[in-house]
Structure 1
């Protein structure tokens, strides 16, 4: 690749393919310079919309890495691929490693090989979002007082903060205690030209989090001003003030800034306008449309999108049980058996999965017949409804949740408990009102309440790409014993802190980045060894 920096090559290609002519070219085809862009935006801030749309277009793409990989991969469709990769690395999402399951490498941790397709997909996808965000940030005066420009600038800053938050937890261990450890290269609008020539080394964990917190702090301030001046997002693919507070709550939770996390989660609840789904709402397959009142942020998918037209190269194909796709042939996705058995009968979430008799009280006749017809085993998920709630549909145009208001209540409860507040009451109130009227939290210590919140996060956010971040920040072992994993070769008990838990920087990046050497990568270690099941 002539020593060109692969991050910039890849993301420049992605950005160029999503239609940003309004921002980057003049009508006669000449390229607009940075100073010209700023002048255009000063005169007409709405011109930045193309750049902002480019950011969120990166979240859902049809095989965006085909050229980089030199092959078509049916698990290559944007950020939902990352969600599936990480969920399969853990112990709560169970699936059979067979010829129709595209997440076998994630189940067995061969995705940690630095030549793996999954490693390249993950790296490219996250830096593609970062590159598009950098383009927006670079084109807008950071001191702008125009509400529309403030809103667009906040989109870039918040999306970049989110992307680095994801990367930081995949390529290094906890923030606390690892501040000086190597994390990931920092590419911003300010250093991208230099990085293209000289490469970019791994920044420390602390340096990455300094960028994460600076970006999200600025986004909160900008969105506060923009929304006070009447700027409202067009739909939930964009980041509102509530979502920005929610992202900052996640960041503070990860950094163990407990009081700040509780405050941000509280603000997110206050300004979101969202309400948790009621027990009646989730007594049936749900979580398929951003129109649901509990969604704060999501990936909006249209029937005409390439991922949908493909039929099977999309998130619902792999995750969904009641639509048509890979799940029908791979045996679907199950919950960890021991986790399922620990759910009280009074908790509505028990019906989000088939029971030991392969039934669920949450299914109507058509849904039950579809599940039975597909031959799913016990514990298969029926949490996610098919598109338009039509069983066996082949139109996989489901929206995909990125943040729900329920998460904010759980962050608030944990953070309050860990900062000396009454997290127990917050947790009990949420669960009793929205999931299990008979629930009582028996924990009394802060750590006990934190563990109880973790249990409810495992249920509430199952399959939504959040569990791995909890495993890492809470220093959990990846213990699959007793989970009913169908392949004995996938039954692991990996101690917290094991090097295999960290993703490795792809070989292509090491070779193309002049500032990185083989010695800069995370350690190469053997795949975990299977253990006897319980």
Structure 2
């Protein structure tokens, strides 16, 4: 292969350095040639593995994405003022000290994904020819091609979705009119190109477009550590909920549940719940970030940060949902070794790996059930709300049959989301996108009064554009409220 100028991802060295990932069968690439370097389907899988490897970073799903979604909410808090990511918890960001980690991940992984998506269109396929993939599967070239392209589109959609909910106000607050982030969907070789921010509505449209195409391409199979059809549909149903498109959210989640369960996925039983987190690739995990002892974030990982008390349950959550609900199997997901340090047990040691190297669940089958239930209750469809909420509600040790129709409400569904996804980075976003108030009652003294009770009108529910972006790119604008403070 000819030597051509390389694009090197503009993220810290820790994010980009990669050891071999045995679970992927191919070493990942986090630096790829800018023009004409991808000529065989195997090359594209190589690049995808690099994207998955970079998603392990503590700057993304390895820790910070999870920490942000929980520490900004009302059910987890920093243990002390020196804990990792305490700035998320205290909302101490301003226009000069906003985090750049998320921005770097978005541009870094996105650059390589766009090169992949450009070059894969140039591949001359023999559609019916059977080839053997690195996973020793026999597939036609067309099926393999579709799967690789579908994964790339889904990863790009996930990146943009996360950035939009970090930097843009909730879609339903102003119908997506607020500015979010630039949509990076093309290969840019000119270093002088300086994109401007797109609106939240434009970003969500791009996410939906990518996911819709991805779902049409992805195979109906399980994939260990990679995005499959059902994971992409889980994300799409979540996106529709964020947009207030409840009909589409219900339809997507319903179809995905049926498809995933026909493929062998199933909800965990109450007996399994507490123990199964230690088993990778189990029946409810549609997509998880895979960590190995050789390439995990280690002491920067979410497993380490939870187990070493950087983030713990708030007193309110601990007392109401963990301590006083012993029949709820989910109450077993908190350490009882010390009531002053009730930490999350969802990132345990797995096999011969330490908790530092625990895999990170991103999409679970339980989310599809709760997405369907939320969409249904918002549509006044109590029958479907009961249908999809009942299996999750059963984890309380009670039956939803004993709950009257008048009590089947959005608040009940959100409460089940609250308990189900504690420690998985969803609580803050679930409250804010529904314009529910975040009330934080047992805060560290460093938390300012304005950050103890707020709704989607609080300007700090979105992050400021990083300082270096503002200095480098004259087309970039800051969120207005940050300019005033």
Distance in 1 of aligned mates of 2:120 and 2:12: 19
TM-score of the pair, normalised by structure 1: 0.75
Per the alignment, residue 102 of structure 1 pairs with 84
The one of 36, 43, 51 aligned to 1:47: 43
> Does the 8 Å CA contact 2:89/2:447 hold for their aligned counterparts?
no
The one of 280, 288, 292 aligned to 1:302: 292
Structure 1 position 485, deviation (Å): 3.5
- SS of the equivalent of 2:99 reads helix
TM-score of the pair, normalised by structure 2: 0.82
Residues 452, 295 of structure 1: alpha-carbon distance in 2 compared, 3 angstrom cutoff = same
Q: How does 1:319-338 map to 2 (within 5 A)?
A: 319-320=306-307, 326-327=308-309, 330=310, 333-338=312-317
> Does the 8 Å CA contact 1:199/1:513 hold for their aligned counterparts?
yes
Residues 417, 153 of structure 1: alpha-carbon distance in 2 compared, 3 angstrom cutoff = same
Structure 1 position 253, deviation (Å): 1.0
Distance in 1 of aligned mates of 2:71 and 2:439: 13
Per the alignment, residue 137 of structure 1 pairs with 117
Q: Can you give the 5+ residue segments of structure 1 that lack an aligned partner in the other structure?
A: 1-6, 26-30, 62-74, 321-325, 360-370, 528-534
> Does the 8 Å CA contact 1:294/1:406 hold for their aligned counterparts?
yes
- Does structure 1 residue 436 correspond to structure 2 residue 412? no
Distance in 2 of aligned mates of 1:479 and 1:247: 27
- Does structure 1 residue 86 correspond to structure 2 residue 86? no
Per the alignment, residue 184 of structure 1 pairs with 181
> Does the 8 Å CA contact 1:78/1:125 hold for their aligned counterparts?
no
Distance in 1 of aligned mates of 2:28 and 2:68: 33
Distance in 1 of aligned mates of 2:101 and 2:30: 27
> Does the 8 Å CA contact 2:227/2:287 hold for their aligned counterparts?
yes
Q: Deviations over 1:94-118 (max 9, x none)?
A: 232233x1122111111x22333x6
The one of 462, 468, 479 aligned to 1:521: 479
> Does the 8 Å CA contact 1:168/1:183 hold for their aligned counterparts?
yes
Moved more, 11-20 or 455-464: 11-20
Q: Deviations over 1:227-281 (max 9, x none)?
A: 4xxxx5651x211111111111111111111121112112222222321111111
- Does structure 1 residue 454 correspond to structure 2 residue 414? yes
> Does the 8 Å CA contact 1:158/1:215 hold for their aligned counterparts?
yes
- SS of the equivalent of 2:293 reads coil
Structure 1 position 525, deviation (Å): 7.2
Per the alignment, residue 245 of structure 2 pairs with 257
Residues 47, 441 of structure 1: alpha-carbon distance in 2 compared, 3 angstrom cutoff = farther
Residues 441, 263 of structure 1: alpha-carbon distance in 2 compared, 3 angstrom cutoff = farther
Distance in 2 of aligned mates of 1:122 and 1:115: 16
Distance in 2 of aligned mates of 1:479 and 1:23: 41
> Does the 8 Å CA contact 1:12/1:131 hold for their aligned counterparts?
no
- Does structure 1 residue 346 correspond to structure 2 residue 327? yes
Distance in 2 of aligned mates of 1:302 and 1:48: 22
- Does structure 1 residue 498 correspond to structure 2 residue 458? yes
Per the alignment, residue 22 of structure 2 pairs with none
Per the alignment, residue 386 of structure 1 pairs with 348
> Does the 8 Å CA contact 2:30/2:51 hold for their aligned counterparts?
no
> Does the 8 Å CA contact 2:330/2:419 hold for their aligned counterparts?
yes
Q: Deviations over 1:42-75 (max 9, x none)?
A: xxx22211111111111113xxxxxxxxxxxxx6
Distance in 2 of aligned mates of 1:345 and 1:78: 30
The one of 431, 440, 465 aligned to 1:471: 431
> Does the 8 Å CA contact 1:427/1:453 hold for their aligned counterparts?
no
Distance in 2 of aligned mates of 1:271 and 1:222: 15
Structure 1 position 285, deviation (Å): 5.2
Distance in 2 of aligned mates of 1:415 and 1:244: 18
Residues 91, 241 of structure 1: alpha-carbon distance in 2 compared, 3 angstrom cutoff = same
Count of residues paired in the alignment? 447
> Does the 8 Å CA contact 2:249/2:375 hold for their aligned counterparts?
yes
Q: How does 1:356-435 map to 2 (within 5 A)?
A: 359=336, 371=337, 376-378=338-340, 380-384=342-346, 386-388=348-350, 396-421=356-381, 422-435=383-396
Distance in 1 of aligned mates of 2:294 and 2:28: 21
Q: Can you give the 5+ residue segments of structure 2 that lack an aligned partner in the other structure?
A: 1-6, 20-26, 128-141
Residues 217, 336 of structure 1: alpha-carbon distance in 2 compared, 3 angstrom cutoff = farther
Distance in 2 of aligned mates of 1:114 and 1:473: 23
- Does structure 1 residue 121 correspond to structure 2 residue 101? yes
Per the alignment, residue 363 of structure 1 pairs with none
Residues 412, 172 of structure 1: alpha-carbon distance in 2 compared, 3 angstrom cutoff = same
Per the alignment, residue 304 of structure 2 pairs with 317
Structure 1 position 172, deviation (Å): 1.7
Q: How does 1:100-249 map to 2 (within 5 A)?
A: 101-110=83-92, 112-116=93-97, 119-141=99-121, 146-176=142-172, 177-190=174-187, 192-193=188-189, 196-223=191-218, 226-227=219-220, 232=221, 234-235=223-224, 237-249=225-237
Distance in 2 of aligned mates of 1:11 and 1:179: 29
- SS of the equivalent of 2:207 reads helix
Q: Deviations over 1:158-183 (max 9, x none)?
A: 01111111111111222132322211
